[in-house]
Amino acid sequence: MIERTFSMIKPDSVLRGLAGEIISRIERKGLKIVGLKMIAVSEEQASRLYAVHKEKPFYKELVSFIRSAPVIVIAIEGESAVSVMRRLIGSTDSKEAAPGTVRGDFSCSKSMNLIHASDSVENAQNELSIFFTEAELMKYERLDAKWVC
């Protein structure tokens, strides 16, 4: 089933020059990027994104980190896009992330783990709405779609 999901290349990736590598991995996997932009996350966007963590002791640190430098927000489509992206990026705790995943190859921190990806279709819809309008999401067919999906 074709799904739409949300991903964010976090400040640590942008500052380390890893954004191109990460985007390339997404595309090489056969997923379709239908929206992409570099932004400075606002306080309101950060609070909406991390609302589920509001009462946790690390909430302020999360918000501060995500607002510390530019991020790249990405809308992605593909067959089982949510689960495919989660496998592509690896475990949240980078020390446990498998080699070959984004986190397994480039990160060694649980808090600065390079990339976010939605963990469900419902959360993807919510997270996409924080950063994209429907008009910003493109409709097109990849030329290799019949070979990768």
> Helix, strand, coil % (nearest 5) of the chain?
45, 20, 35
Reply yes or no on whether the pLDDT at 133 is more than 80: yes
Give the domain ranges of the chain.
Answer: 2-133
Overall size of the chain counted in residues: 149
Which residue is catalytic, options 116, 124, 128, 132?
116
Tell me yes or no: is domain 2-133 CATH 3.30.70.141.
yes
Return the percentage of the chain with pLDDT > 70, whole number: 99
For residue 89, is pLDDT > 80?
A: yes
27 near 81, Cβ under 8 Å? no
- For the chain, percent of residues with pLDDT exceeding 90: 91
- pLDDT at 149 > cutoff 70: no
Which pLDDT tens digit goes with each residue over 101-118? 999 999 988 888 999 999
53 flagged as catalytic: no
This prediction's pTM:
0.95
Backbone angles phi, psi at 21, to 5 degrees: -60, -45
Q: In this predicted structure, what is the pLDDT of residue 74?
A: 99
Q: Note the helical H segments in 17-143.
A: 19-28, 43-49, 59-66, 81-89, 102-106, 121-131
Other Cβ atoms closer than 10 A to 96: 11
| Among 78-82, 86-90, 92-96, the least confident range | 92-96
Q: What mean pLDDT do residues 14-36 have? A: 98
pLDDT confidence of residue 108: 80
Whether residue 3 contacts residue 13, with contact meaning beta carbons closer than 8 Å, is answered with no
